[in-house]
Amino acid sequence: MTSARLQSLREELARCGADAVLIPRGDCFQGEEVPASEDRLAFISGFTGSAGVAVVTKDKAALFSDGRYTIQMAAETTSDWSCHTMPEASVTAWLKDNLTAGAVAIDPWLMTLSSYRQFQKAFTDSGLSVMKLDHNLVDVIWPDRPLPPSQPAWDYPQQYQGQSRQEKITAAITQLKDSGARQMLITGPDQLNWLLNIRGNDIPHSPLFLAFGLLRDDGTVVIFTEDDRVKSIDQNALTVIPPSDMLDHLAGLSRMTIAIDPATCPYVLADLLDGQTVEAASIITALKARKNPVEIAGVHHAHRRDAVAMVRMLAWLDASSGLREVDVAEKLLELRAEVDGFISASFATICGSGPNGAIVHYRAEEGSDSEILTDTLCLIDSGGQYLDATTDITRTVAIGEPTAQMRHDFTHVLKAHIALDQAVFPKGTTGAQLDAITRAPLWAAGMDFAHGTGHGVGCCLNVHEGPANISKRGTVALEAGMVLSNEPGHYIEGQYGIRIENLLVVRPEDGREGYLGFDHVTLVPMDRRLIDLAHLTSDELRWLNDYHARVAEVIRPLVVDRGDDDVLAWFDAATQRI
């Protein structure tokens, strides 16, 4: 079927005079999820992974994604396609190898300003050029393309906001004026949802209403969407302009300086406003990252309820045998669905048994998942979207009898986790500095992990958000109120994976002027069977016992309320002092 589609696409390619066309997985909003109407990559290639890009020329078709999808790319595509794993392979290098000269067509809605610049730079001194299309070539050949999301936006309940729309707009405009801009193009839907205190149901895993917006210095916000999708939300300070009029509206703003964020601004909009923009990271992203007291209370509350679902799942897992990985994902969804304020999973659950745990972004899929093996480890990374917050937690548990090596490795990952949890640091400290503190206990044992230590987390928004992160590339300083994950790991290919993840809130350190520390909000037992006391210092052991005492103090009453004696017995054993 994709052969016929490729044939049609090549006819469109010839019609517009281009030699190659790029088909990214993303939509104009650049989120991790896309609505079905935007999944052009799956339509043209058959590949259903969450990241990737296709390049189609007159006689070749190439698919690119990252290491977690190497096998899936090959399995889901026909012989028309060659599959390539990034970053070892790159789209621009492939294009230069396979086309000596010609035009590479892009849809400028689907490429950000910063990606466009990188892409163009890669073709310097080659015979290749970039061609901006005025329509998407895939859409022309996709007769049964699903309809775009049409559900209405909803007001984010006032009790969870902590700040009114007007207060947020005022704070954003104050900073906007400092930047010298009069208006700001809002190209990240999570920013617009936060600013307006709205949410939506447009994509899986994030309660987002997908739209672009324009913040104006008169204290109003334009939302570019169909009128009927927002007529039931609070209309205060809101102007609605249909997406079909967006370009005309923006073109009419000539002689006005507009702030844009190159990381999310589609090239088509940056190009339209060329000469009248100030480029900077979004001020809304920075404001949104510092959670207010009401949001922080929500983060704590949601994590307590989420912990009960996790505890019930872990007790069930220990009491079961012969399960498959997808059974765990399904059980978690079923248990979270019983929690007050639950909206959806915050991402597709990762449940990796044995060797699958070593594949960092492994996702168990019905039909291709494994049985949960015995005498090894099982890594479970999952989360929920709740009205008051977003959760993200990883626990690694022993199934059967763990080896001494597994216990050694788990204990070292725990040491790294404790190192970050306990860190006290001066204001201005960046994520990269904290990343090194976290890894130090692993490095000391000749261990490491090939992913970041932590990412920002939204409140009833995206589970991954900026601007701060804790990683080798973390250049942003942490600030009080930010919510970040603490998720060091260790992975042995072909054997098992270990990760321990809690969410942390950054807070001023008591009695230490100018210093910050963390509060952990995730309260779920760590697997005591995997701890080798020979490798814990007395301070680390005290941390572990204090942590379990805190879990017992806060979560036990909620477990008792459920009236399930088996779960309570499991919980009491799991939180015992060591």
Stretch that binds Zn ion, among 30-38, 110-118, 401-409, 477-485 (CB under 5 A): 477-485
How many CB atoms sit inside 10 A of residue 204's CB?
A: 14
| Cβ at position 452, least distance to Zn ion in Å | 9
Q: Phi/psi of residue 199, each to 5°?
A: -145, 175
With CB under 5 A as the contact rule, the residue among 65, 161, 356, 485 that binds Zn ion is 485
| Cβ at position 523, least distance to Zn ion in Å | 16
- The rounded distance, in Å, linking the Cα atoms of 500 and 528 is 13
**CB-side neighbour CA atoms (13 Å) of 129:** 7
492-511 positions binding Zn ion, by CB under 5 A: 501
Alpha helices in 137-289 (DSSP H): 137-140, 158-161, 165-178, 189-196, 227-230, 246-251, 267-272, 283-289
| Cβ at position 291, least distance to Zn ion in Å | 17
| Cβ at position 502, least distance to Zn ion in Å | 10
DSSP string, 359-405: STT----TTT--B--SSEEEEEEE-EEESS-B--EEEEEEES---HH
Cβ proximity to Zn ion: between 65 and 396 the closer is 396
- Is residue 277 near Zn ion by the rule CB under 5 A? no
| Cβ at position 477, least distance to Zn ion in Å | 20
- Residue 182, amino acid: R
Q: How many residues bind Zn ion (CB under 5 A)?
A: 5
Report the chain's C-alpha Rg in angstroms: 25
By the 8 A CB rule, do 189 and 144 touch?
Answer: no
| Cβ at position 394, least distance to Zn ion in Å | 5
| Cβ at position 383, least distance to Zn ion in Å | 6
Q: What is the 3-state secondary structure (H, E, C) of 498-544?
A: EECEEEEEEEECCCCCCEEEEEECCCCCCCHHHCCHHHCCHHHHHHH
Place of tokens 């329509």: 135
**CB-side neighbour CA atoms (13 Å) of 516:** 19
Cβ proximity to Zn ion: between 76 and 501 the closer is 501
Q: Which residues pair with 222 in a beta bridge?
A: 214, 239
Cβ proximity to Zn ion: between 55 and 379 the closer is 379
How many CB atoms sit inside 10 A of residue 507's CB?
A: 14
- Is residue 306 near Zn ion by the rule CB under 5 A? no
Cβ proximity to Zn ion: between 161 and 462 the closer is 462
Cβ proximity to Zn ion: between 501 and 509 the closer is 501
By the 8 A CB rule, do 344 and 53 touch?
Answer: no
Cβ proximity to Zn ion: between 295 and 381 the closer is 381
Place of tokens 């016929």: 4
Cβ proximity to Zn ion: between 13 and 289 the closer is 289
- The rounded distance, in Å, linking the Cα atoms of 317 and 329 is 11
Closest CA to 503 of 197, 286, 296, 284: 296
Stretch that binds Zn ion, among 130-138, 173-181, 182-190, 482-490 (CB under 5 A): 482-490
| Cβ at position 33, least distance to Zn ion in Å | 16
Looking at residue 68, the DSSP 8-state letter turns out to be G
Cβ proximity to Zn ion: between 207 and 266 the closer is 207
Stretch that binds Zn ion, among 236-244, 298-306, 394-402, 444-452 (CB under 5 A): 394-402
Stretch that binds Zn ion, among 93-101, 257-265, 335-343, 373-381 (CB under 5 A): 373-381
Cβ proximity to Zn ion: between 266 and 384 the closer is 384
Cβ proximity to Zn ion: between 39 and 487 the closer is 487
| Cβ at position 382, least distance to Zn ion in Å | 7
| Cβ at position 151, least distance to Zn ion in Å | 27
| Cβ at position 317, least distance to Zn ion in Å | 17
| Cβ at position 474, least distance to Zn ion in Å | 14
Crossing angle between the packed helical segments 404-421 and 431-443, to the nearest 10 degrees: 150
Cβ proximity to Zn ion: between 327 and 501 the closer is 501
With CB under 5 A as the contact rule, the residue among 33, 76, 381, 435 that binds Zn ion is 381
- Is residue 392 near Zn ion by the rule CB under 5 A? yes
CA distances to 257, 414, 445, 455, 472 from 533, in Å: 61, 11, 15, 30, 30
Cβ proximity to Zn ion: between 12 and 392 the closer is 392
549-568 positions binding Zn ion, by CB under 5 A: none
Cβ proximity to Zn ion: between 45 and 394 the closer is 394
Stretch that binds Zn ion, among 353-361, 380-388, 400-408, 411-419 (CB under 5 A): 380-388
Sequence-separated (6 or more) residues with CB below 8 Å from residue 364? 324, 325, 326, 328, 329, 349, 350, 351, 352, 356, 370
Stretch that binds Zn ion, among 185-193, 238-246, 387-395, 509-517 (CB under 5 A): 387-395
| Cβ at position 293, least distance to Zn ion in Å | 24
Give me the residues that bind Zn ion (CB under 5 A), please: 381, 392, 394, 485, 501
